[in-house]
Amino acid sequence: MSDIFEKEIRVIFEDDDILIISKPAGVTVNKAETTRHEITIQDWVEERFRSSGLEFNQEQGDFYNRGGIVHRLDKETSGVLILAKNPRSLEILQKQFKERVVEKEYIALSHDRVVPDRGEIKVPVGRLPWNRKRFGVVPGGRESVTYYKVINYYTYDKQTYSLLSLFPKTGRTHQIRVHLKYLGYPIFADFLYAGRKISKHDRKLLERVFLHAAKISFMHPRSGIRKVFECDLPSELKNVLDKFEMIN
């Protein structure tokens, strides 16, 4: 199993308490009933921990059940992911997420020209009553906040696109994807939120959602010193941008 993933999963940083990796698109993070026939990040990290002699047993409760995974990324989202190497680190890092100590930056390519070129999105997000696999802006949903700014505008095949930096302050499922859909600028190749016809057309160029976790910052669970880790855009996303023309 490790041989399959070593070509794709890059270790960005590792010490006695944390493991920071670059997650490739197309790989699910957590194990579940629906992932019995695929290898997940949790499978990979559990094998890595065991092969390195790291203590790992059912008495460790949440750490064992989660495989040390602190947070998650959608299957088609690439980028930086934090893994804890012991129960204490997991508990401290989870608390930082809950208290919004963790700072995150994502890169996304959206449809159309996003205006204004920076702003805040603050809306209630929850599951859609008519489709429990999708999320949206719904009355009574949970608070969700994302700040954004435009990096560049592009054109391709007579269409306009926006490359964005996004800074989510909350961590709702599909938050960035839902927020951009709500503004009217769905993410490129987003099969859930861009619409069937648009996403089908997009996927002739890119077979995944154009969403990447580029940077994460948090307090190290042992030293208390703020750490920042970054992950460059993967080649398949760079290749899309190379086909586009930058405009003002």
3-state secondary structure of 197: helix
Task: Count Cβ atoms within 10 A of the Cβ of residue 147 and give its class: 0-12 exposed, 13-18 middle, 19 or more buried.
Answer: middle
Identify how many contiguous H helices and E strands the chain contains and give both numbers. Answer: 7, 11
The secondary structure of residue 40, as a DSSP letter, is: -
Active site residue 74: yes
Q: How far apart are CA 125 and CA 103, in angstroms?
A: 20
Cα-Cα end-to-end distance for the chain: 46
Other beta carbons within 10 angstroms of residue 26's beta carbon come to 13
Catalytic residue among 3, 43, 62, 74: 74
Which residues are catalytically annotated?
A: 74
